[in-house]
Chains A and B, each alone.
Chain A
Amino acid sequence: MLRLKRELVCREIVELITAYLEDTLPRRQRRRFEAHLAGCEHCSEYLEQMRATIRLTGSLRAEDLTPRMSAEFGALYRRWREEEEEGGEEEEG
């Protein structure tokens, strides 16, 4: 393997960012990544934006079940129980 001393450039940083966040960069590569970040405000901003993107995507979650949906899930469950009890018999119409 070539042991590159060359510094990473911004265009490379944006492609390595997920591996960095996933903590899968080899140690040497990670050091080069962090060295670049320390001296580059734009790439630091970019990293923050990726973190914010992940956060915002995650915030799509919170929504509760409406009463109607609760009732429907209850009905669905009873349907399954009936199926279970009927065993191999045909489903009721």
Chain B
Amino acid sequence: MDADGELVARVRAGDEQAFVTLAARHHSTMQRIARSYVGSDAVAEEVVQDTWLAVLRGLAGFAGRSSFQTWLLAILVNRARSTGVREHRSVAIGDAGPAVDAARFDAAGAWMSPPRHWVEESDSRLLAEGAAERIQSTLRELPERQREVLMLRDVADLSAREVCEALEISEANQRVLLHRGRSRLRTALEAELGRA
């Protein structure tokens, strides 16, 4: 079940250490999500701290209908979104392009320019670092909704249902956004790591 539940109960009871443990557990995910909306690490830290303060203030009203993490990240996304908008970093919503450039298939729809190999390369520590940076920068360039779904599904590891809950979108929408976002990331990784 919810691994945060016990910590949350202790936080409510006044246990400061439990709060720091809880914050630490979610910190890097929250920082990554926030950073994908705003222009600097420092602003992202502020967004994370604001979120925790809002969470503490709202804790008495948290009914536990969703998991604590889903609730937490829904608050974070809202705050990061509005901060990002204030910073004028909001991105175009469009992008209905195909998963792979149509020019890479022949008229019958078969690969003409097949995927270049890179999966093995991503195991190398050095290249994996480049890959991580590429993922971060690609995430920042993604249309907002795709980024949100990607962050919650693949970085924060929420289930499809939890993502729908946190972002208030349908399962079909979630899947389309996930598909476009992941496809864009794969293309970016192919460009970063691929060999002919």
Residues of A within 8 A of B (CB): 9-12, 14-15, 17-19, 22, 24, 40, 42-43, 45-46, 48-50, 52-54, 56-65, 69-70, 72-74, 76-81, 83
Contact = CB atoms under 8 A, between A and B. Distances in A.
Interface in B138-196: 150, 154-155, 157, 160, 175, 178-179, 182-183, 185-186, 189-190
B131 interface: yes
B99 A17 contact: yes
Prevailing SS type, chain A contact patch:
helix
B94 to A, nearest CB: 18
Contacts of A12: 109
Contact of B155 (A18, A24, A61, A70): A61
Contacts of A24: 175
A42 B106 CA distance: 14
A70 B111 contact: no
Interface of B: 11, 14, 16, 19-20, 23-24, 27-29, 31-32, 45, 49, 52-53, 56-57, 98-100, 102, 105, 108-111, 114-115, 117-119, 122, 128, 131-132, 135-136, 150, 154-155, 157, 160, 175, 178-179, 182-183, 185-186, 189-190
A80 B60 CA distance: 12
A58 B182 contact: no
Given A14-B99, A53-B189, A77-B19, A72 B119 contact: no
A22 B164 CA distance: 14
Contacts of B53: 76, 79-80
Complex A-B, nearest 10 residue pairs according to Cβ-Cβ distance, in ascending order: A9-B109, A18-B179, A63-B28, A11-B109, A42-B114, A57-B154, A65-B24, A80-B56, A42-B111, A73-B23
B49 A72 contact: yes
A15 B99 CA distance: 6
A72 to B, nearest CB: 7
Q: Which of B11, B14, B45, B110 lies at the interface centre, i.e. has the most chain A CB atoms within 10 A of its CB?
A: B110
Q: Which of B45, B183, B190 lies at the interface centre, i.e. has the most chain A CB atoms within 10 A of its CB?
A: B183
B19 to A, nearest CB: 4
B99 A60 contact: no
A40 B53 CA distance: 52
Contacts of B16: 74, 77-78, 81
Given A11-B102, A12-B109, A76 B189 contact: no
B23 to A, nearest CB: 4
B175 A65 contact: no
Nearest to B52: A76
A42 B190 CA distance: 14
